[in-house]
Copies of this chain bind each other. A is one copy, B any other.
Amino acid sequence: MRISAALLTDRYELSMYAALLADGRVGAPATFELFARRLPEGRRFGMVAGLGRFLDALTDFHFDDDTLAWLQDAKVIDAATATSLANWRFTGTIRAYREGETWFPNSPILSVQAPLGEGLILETLALSIFNHDSAIASAAARMVLAADGRTLIEMGSRRTHEEAAVATARAAYVAGFSTTSNLAAGAAYGVPTAGTVAHAFVLAHQSEAEAFAAQMAAQGTGTTILVDTYDTEQGIATAVRVAQDLGATGPGAIRIDSGDLPTAVAAARAQLDSLGATDTKIVVTSDLDEYLITELALSAVDAYGVGTRVATGSGHPTAGFVYKLVELDDRPVAKRASGKANVGGLKTPYRYPDGREAFRVDGVVPPGARPLQVDVVRAGEVLPIPTLLEAREYAAAALADLPPAARHITSGPPATTAVLEGDPA
């Protein structure tokens, strides 16, 4: 059977739906919020990504006949629930932080107001998408700060689940990466793609000269040549010679994927310049993260290719968001369990010009503060959201807007923690 988006969820969401349908509570007016109680240890801010994917999933979210038959066979739901789910559509209202917005502990980045059964059933899918995509964007944003204007290439597809790789490329692009290696992200989302050859290509030829000539014949002299298959110094000399034989001053770029990178980059730059290849750029790859990028700040690097560490959230592969019922029957509700308490009531979050974030539960935004949520679904209708390029521009502005201390890569406290202002609900 084709797996419906509605099955990308935890069994208990549908078990609860069935029980709520049976006892008449499924239609009670409810509000859920998606937020994190804390940032990953040492992180000063997070970055939101995933909203566009979530809204796409919401549009595709329905229970077809095969799905309902399987759910009944598996004893997940009864016949009455199957009938109810066959007509399931989201009729509520959703407000959210924009993609590219920064987030902090307790930021309510998504608020879902809907009949209880409708809001409940979106929990797992919303969490999966926001936890993954925002973990990637949060790590990528730190790499963007560390790169300080230099180009970043996302190339982590091979280090993560094949579909997660597509979302990774998208989230890293929002955060400020320039390109991705992932073709599906190009086809699905228009993320610019990049990539030339791997070591296997060089090994597949009798010599580096032959490999580089074949590559330039296919891709032009402006391509990026991988120079460290055998000996980097010889590789660079050969790459420049082959490019110069074709009338260029050198290849468009060289890529170095091994060795001590600061040393290798300095030697490569000097060698390229001495050979007249002053326009040839240097791309470095090899287990980079925000810390290694920072270490290379004084090196003559033109572009960083980042793989494993961006695709795995640089030590924090999930953002830590939870999705909690905060209002029911127009009254605030909150779990009181130790260490997991939360504030009841629908929150209206905002940020002051000095970066402090707060929320009220009476809907008021204080003068001078900037509201943080925008309407994204109104009465079940998904509203247009910014394009990915606009989200990327928003992210760049959000990073520029961070307090100076929050821009540090070293461990430190959150730049702010969203707190309740005004009376509790």
- A398 contacts the other chain (CB 8 A): no
Distance in angstroms from A364 CB to nearest chain B CB is 26
- A403 contacts the other chain (CB 8 A): no
| Chain B residues positioned under 8 Å from A116 (CB to CB) | 204
For the complex, give the distance between the alpha carbons of A312 and B158 in Å: 16
Question: Which among B187, B196, B200 is the interface contact of A324 at CB below 8 angstroms?
Answer: B200
For the complex, give the distance between the alpha carbons of A333 and B244 in Å: 28
Partner-B contacts on A (CB < 8 A): 1, 3, 5, 7-16, 18-20, 22-23, 25, 28, 30, 32, 57, 67, 70-71, 74, 76, 116, 120, 123-125, 127-129, 131-133, 155, 157-167, 181-184, 186-188, 193-201, 203-205, 214-215, 217-219, 228-232, 257-259, 308, 311-313, 317-318, 323-325, 328, 333-340
For the complex, give the distance between the alpha carbons of A327 and B191 in Å: 35
Selected A-B contacts with CB under 8 Å, 24 pairs: A3-B188, A8-B184, A10-B155, A12-B195, A12-B198, A19-B201, A20-B214, A23-B214, A25-B204, A25-B214, A67-B187, A70-B187, A124-B157, A127-B159, A128-B165, A132-B160, A159-B318, A160-B161, A160-B164, A161-B161, A163-B163, A199-B324, A199-B325, A257-B337
- Whether the Cβ atoms of B123 and A16 lie closer than 8 Å is no
| Chain B residues positioned under 8 Å from A340 (CB to CB) | 257-258
Beyond A10-B183, A28-B204: 14 further Cβ-contacts under 8 Å?
A: A1-B187, A8-B163, A8-B166, A10-B195, A11-B193, A11-B194, A19-B214, A127-B158, A127-B159, A128-B158, A128-B159, A161-B163, A164-B164, A229-B337
Distance in angstroms from A169 CB to nearest chain B CB is 10
For the complex, give the distance between the alpha carbons of A323 and B157 in Å: 13
| Chain B residues positioned under 8 Å from A7 (CB to CB) | 183-184, 187
9 A-B pairs with the lowest CB-CB distances in the bound complex, closest first = A12-B195, A11-B195, A127-B158, A161-B164, A19-B218, A163-B163, A258-B337, A128-B162, A10-B181
| Chain B residues positioned under 8 Å from A32 (CB to CB) | 200
For A25, A123, A167, the residue with the greatest tally of chain B CB atoms inside 10 Å of its CB is: A25
| Chain B residues positioned under 8 Å from A128 (CB to CB) | 157-162, 165
For the complex, give the distance between the alpha carbons of A189 and B212 in Å: 45
Q: With A131-B158, A162-B8 given, is the CB distance from A123 to B198 under 8 Å?
A: yes
| Chain B residues positioned under 8 Å from A10 (CB to CB) | 155, 157-158, 181-183, 195
For the complex, give the distance between the alpha carbons of A184 and B5 in Å: 9
- Whether the Cβ atoms of B165 and A337 lie closer than 8 Å is no
- Whether the Cβ atoms of A339 and B8 lie closer than 8 Å is no
- Whether the Cβ atoms of A318 and B311 lie closer than 8 Å is yes
Name the CB-closest residue of B to A126. B158
For the complex, give the distance between the alpha carbons of A407 and B159 in Å: 26
- Whether the Cβ atoms of B158 and A167 lie closer than 8 Å is no
For the complex, give the distance between the alpha carbons of A197 and B20 in Å: 10
For the complex, give the distance between the alpha carbons of A8 and B201 in Å: 20
For the complex, give the distance between the alpha carbons of A116 and B230 in Å: 20
Distance in angstroms from A323 CB to nearest chain B CB is 8
| Chain B residues positioned under 8 Å from A201 (CB to CB) | 16, 19-20
Question: Which among B19, B71, B318 is the interface contact of A219 at CB below 8 angstroms?
Answer: B19
Question: Which among B8, B127, B328, B334 is the interface contact of A204 at CB below 8 angstroms?
Answer: B328
Distance in angstroms from A13 CB to nearest chain B CB is 8
